[in-house]
Chains A and B, each alone.
Chain A
Amino acid sequence: MAKKTYDLLFKLLLIGDSGVGKTSILFRFSDDAFTSTFISTIGIDFKIKTVELRGKKIKLQIWDTAGQERFHTITTSYYRGAMGIMLVYDVTDERSFENIVKWLRNIDEHANEDVEKMILGNKCDIDGKRAVSKDRGDAIAREYGVPFLETSAKANTNIDKAFNDLATAILDKFAGKEPGDAPDRVMVDPRRGDTSRRSCC
């Protein structure tokens, strides 16, 4: 008999323009000797990571997507069932920051209505070529009511925190859904991440 090994399963997505660092965030930035040439050639589709939040064992299934325009139809199919979305821009690339608004619209069109979002200003390790100040990141996040962090996949800054924060936001939403329902009784069907939850008419 299969033992149930976790309490909750959250499907998370990384989206944003090409080159902002989505794959690097998922594929731990490493140029150390251990990097496997085989895996780096074919690339990672998704990862399963287990975290513990508020005493619960949570499985995160984290998907990478392609930022290039020609892949967008494929990308939107990934939105199906996503419970959290990391929207990434590059702090050295003004254009990728301006496109955040476009991506937010994209999410509104294709993702579940109640999806949790988070904006990441990546490559904050690069100081010389910075094009977008942290204040501007803060401002757009406030305007759209979305949490914001500056990250560096290279220096491993705020990457774990970003995933933990997003997962916590999803967890709290479930806990808050049924008032009077104790958070530790909230349960999500493990399969739910794979099926589309159509928004009601």
Chain B
Amino acid sequence: MTAPAGISPEIEAVLENGLNKTALTCLHCPSRILNPSVGTFVQQEFALPAMTKQKNQIIDEKHELREFWKVKDMFQFENVGFSNTVDGVKYLTCADCEMGPIGWHDLVTKENFIAVSRVRNS
């Protein structure tokens, strides 16, 4: 399989056969989220709430993200937390420091998406 068009060199560097080349770890602690070659690189739009917010901020700030690692089965994760359901979505967090959302879980398809920009890819 060839990589989809329009992939940046940064992404190219962390890909191997369309999968994550190295283990994914938390940006804030050493917790290992996913083993190498388990996540499939996908490009799709999803607005993920910001990891932190200002005090008294009522509406959550969201970031439009496009690059995700897709994980088919939740038990393929090494360590991950699932939030309570909000608006039909479960958000994914680091299982050790609770930093997140690092991605989201689709309740219908049961697929999981980890934002490439919210984890350490090397």
Contact = CB atoms under 8 A, between A and B. Distances in A.
Contacts of B77: 48, 50
Chain B contact residues, majority secondary structure? loop
B97 A43 contact: no
Interface residues of B, number: 36
Interface string B62-81: 00000000001111111111
A39 B73 contact: no
A27 interface: yes
Contacts of B100: 36, 38-39
Contacts of A43: 83-84
A38 B85 contact: no
Contact of A48 (B53, B80, B83): B80
A27 B100 CA distance: 13
Given A42-B86, A49-B79, A37 B53 contact: yes
Chain A contact residues, majority secondary structure? mixed
Interface string A20-59: 0000000110100011111110111111111000000001
Interface stretch (A1-9, A96-104, A171-179): A1-9
Contacts of B76: 2, 5
Interface string B27-71: 011000001011000000000011111000000100000000000
Given A2-B73, A44-B93, A28 B98 contact: yes
Contact of A38 (B38, B53, B82): B53
Interface residues on A, range: 20 to 34
A190 B85 CA distance: 23
B113 interface: no
Given A5-B35, A44-B98, A45-B85, A38 B74 contact: no
B94 to A, nearest CB: 9
B35 A38 contact: no
A42 B53 CA distance: 13
Given A5-B76, A50-B78, A59-B75, A34 B99 contact: yes
Interface of B: 28-29, 35, 37-38, 49-53, 60, 72-86, 90-91, 93, 95-101
**Pairs of residues from A and B, 6 with the lowest C-beta to C-beta distance, nearest first:** A47-B81, A50-B78, A43-B84, A39-B100, A47-B95, A45-B84
Given A36-B100, A38-B101, A48-B74, 4 more contacts: A34-B28, A34-B29, A38-B49, A39-B91
